[in-house]
Amino acid sequence: MNPRGEKPKSKISASRKLSLKMLLLTRACEDLEKERQEREEEKVRYLGEKLPPLQLSGKSLQELQELCKQLHTKIDIVDEERYDCESKVSKHNKDIHELKLKVQDLGGKFKKPALRKVRVSADEMMRALLGSKHKGSMDLRANLKSVKKEDVKQDKVLTSEVGDWRKNVEAMSGMEGRKKMFDTGGGAQ
């Protein structure tokens, strides 16, 4: 890139680019047509080798029955080959799918499924975790600390007694204040 941050200009003109694209597209179309014709010729050649044209005229009943038996054996062989090929393809597809999953796991880009909200009580959760070992019910609300209105009033009184912070600093200053801090395990702080 240029120091100004602009893209460098192409050395080929737009009309030249367009003509090159058109040439590439026509060449690709020709190649596709050629491949299709080659596949058709290969198919005709293969069928000519594997399935020679039938000569039914002028054959006796015994010869026709023998021909039918031969055709049935060939059909059985072809069906076995087809089944083998299908089973190989399905096995390979399954392997490919498993490898893709492994790649996703290693890449860390696996999308987590959305979880549903489930309401489970504490008893059900303990039963699920501990199984038959869990006995009795577990009432979590019974274990909560009960707060009385008197305790709340006492807390308010204690905080209002502290009041002016200057008095507290003056009381803790000097050697006596430090002695009080060590005696009470930290003082007012």
- For the chain, the C-alpha Rg in angstroms (whole number) is 45
Q: How confident is the model at residue 178 (pLDDT cuts 50, 70, 90)?
A: low
pLDDT of residue 189: 47
Question: What tens digit of pLDDT does each residue of 96-117 get?
Answer: 999 998 888 777 755 677 888 8
| Distance, CA of 20 to CA of 24 (rounded, Å) | 6
Looking at residue 13, its amino acid is S
Residue matched to tokens 């190649």: 31
| Distance, CA of 185 to CA of 171 (rounded, Å) | 16
pLDDT of residue 101: 87
Is the Cα dihedral 78, 80, 85, 90 positive or negative?
positive
E strand or H helix at 21, and its extent?
helix 14-50
> CB of 123 within 8 A of CB of 131?
no
pLDDT of residue 117: 80
Question: What tens digit of pLDDT does each residue of 4-61 get?
Answer: 666 777 788 889 999 999 999 999 999 999 999 999 999 999 888 877 777 778 888 8
Cα-flanking dihedrals φ and ψ of residue 152, to 5°?
-65, -40
What does the block give as tokens for 126?
A: 């303990």
Residue matched to tokens 């072809």: 78
Q: How many Å from the N-terminal Cα to the C-terminal Cα in the chain?
A: 64
